[in-house]
Structure 1
Amino acid sequence: MPTANARSERLHMRLSPDALETIREAAAAQQQDVSAFVLGAAMEHAREVLLRDRVLQLTPRELDQVDTALDAEARVVPELAALVAAVRRDTPQHGEQELTSH
């Protein structure tokens, strides 16, 4: 867990009085100070951006492969079908109660 001493960088920004007031009100509604509120919001957005950029980015060729796979006729994979059947046998279905003895 980072300590308070680990915080050594500063971020300065200029904003309009209206924007600052909106941020102050939102921070107060979340019972946070402005710095914690802004940092939390910025980190959440930064993680979303990086996730989209790093994980969900496909090349045009990869998109074509996904489209082709989705358009293809479904086929049964025997090993997967057997696994699903085994799990269904061992798991109570919706509305069923599992009976146990004590």
Structure 2
Amino acid sequence: MPTAHARSERLNMRVSPEALATIREAAAAQQQDVSAFVLGAAMEHAREVLLRDRVIRLTPRELDQVDAALDGEPQVIPEIAALIAAVRRETPQHGTKEFASR
């Protein structure tokens, strides 16, 4: 349960009657009050913006490196190939007796 201190800041805005009617209708459809609906939508969008800003920001040089790696020939990494082979040996394939008996 949030404490009074957790919700001590205030956010005010003016919107058109049409926008408010749409927000009220959507909030009711989600069984939320307008404040909870608007805060939830704003927080979801804010998190998406921050994630994109923090995770997908590349310098031009880094972008060139990614492009070059994607355009290049695939390379086998022996350690990863060995791990995949080991997992395949341990994991029964669909339709085999070993898989059906489990």
**Which structure has greater helix proportion?**
2
CA shift for structure 1 position 40: 0.3
Q: 1:99 aligned to 2:98?
A: no
Q: Which amino acid aligns with 2:94?
A: H
CA distance in structure 2 between the partners assigned to 1:5 and 1:60 by the alignment: 44
CA distance in structure 1 between the partners assigned to 2:92 and 2:39 by the alignment: 46
TM-score (normalised: structure 2)? 0.89
Q: Which amino acid aligns with 2:45?
A: H
Residue of structure 2 equivalent to 1:43: 43
% identical aligned pairs = 80
CA distance in structure 2 between the partners assigned to 1:98 and 1:86 by the alignment: 21
Q: Which amino acid aligns with 1:41?
A: A
Tell me the alpha carbon deviations over residues 22-41 of structure 1, each in whole angstroms, 9 at most, x when there is no partner: 00000000000000000000
Instruction: Assess if the C-alpha contact under 8 Å between 1:92 and 1:98 holds in 2.
Output: no
TM-score (normalised: structure 1)? 0.89
Instruction: Assess if the C-alpha contact under 8 Å between 1:27 and 1:37 holds in 2.
Output: yes
Stretches of structure 1 lacking an aligned partner (at least 5 in a row) = none
Tell me the alpha carbon deviations over residues 80-99 of structure 1, each in whole angstroms, 9 at most, x when there is no partner: 10000001111122344253
RMSD: 1.5
